[in-house]
Amino acid sequence: MFTMIFACDMKGAIGKDGDLPWRQSSDLQHFKLVTMAKTIVMGRKTWDSLPKALPGRRNIVMSRTPRDDVEVLDYDAILALGEDEEIMIIGGGEIYALFMEHTKEVHKTIINTVVEGADTFAPSMEGEAFHLIGERHVAAGPRDEHDMTFQHWIR
């Protein structure tokens, strides 16, 4: 089974210049809670943006190029892996687009801002038959730049 998790601004932006365009400690804590002890799959650019492998999770990079610093699998191998366990798709934009049709669940955080000059966007969920099953509005904490809304979608 495939589950996506991402944070986006109010227009769907998820990145700018290869990085998150905000600092949201509360969202990072939510991400950790949802992904801990699971297999996470990301593209090479997302991997390169991280300081190190995310602890407590099996980190997989989807790529055609082998690497020494992380487990690498191709698209077909990841699809096969998803038949036996929950796979968390964590980005970036191209990886989200590739796995949208296989995704059964989405954890979406809407950051209450609009990013000027964003260059990476969340996948469109429109027409994908997802249903909102939970939503929680959270005021910005001391280590957050913006208020946010956590949403949980299934199909």
Three-state SS for 100? Answer: helix
Give the pLDDT band (50/70/90) at residue 19: confident
Three-state SS for 23? Answer: coil
Report how far residue 122's alpha carbon sits from residue 8's, in angstroms, rounded to the nearest whole number: 7
Report the pLDDT value the prediction gives residue 18, as an integer from 0 to 100: 83
pLDDT, tens digit, 9 for 90 and up, residues 35-89: 999 999 999 999 998 999 999 999 999 988 899 999 999 999 999 999 999 999 9
- Minimal CA–CA distance to 124: which of 139, 144, 103? 103
Report how many domains make up the chain.
1
pLDDT, tens digit, 9 for 90 and up, residues 105-155: 999 999 999 999 999 999 889 889 999 999 999 999 999 999 999 999 999
Domain carrying residue 91: 2-154
Q: Could you tell me the CATH number of the domain that includes residue 132?
A: 3.40.430.10
Report the pLDDT value the prediction gives residue 133, as an integer from 0 to 100: 98
Q: Which residues of 31-69 are buried (b: 16+ CB within 10 A; e: fewer)?
A: beebbeebbbbbbbbbbeeeeeebeebbbbbbbeeeeee
| Residue 43 token pair | 């593209």
How much is the pTM?
0.95
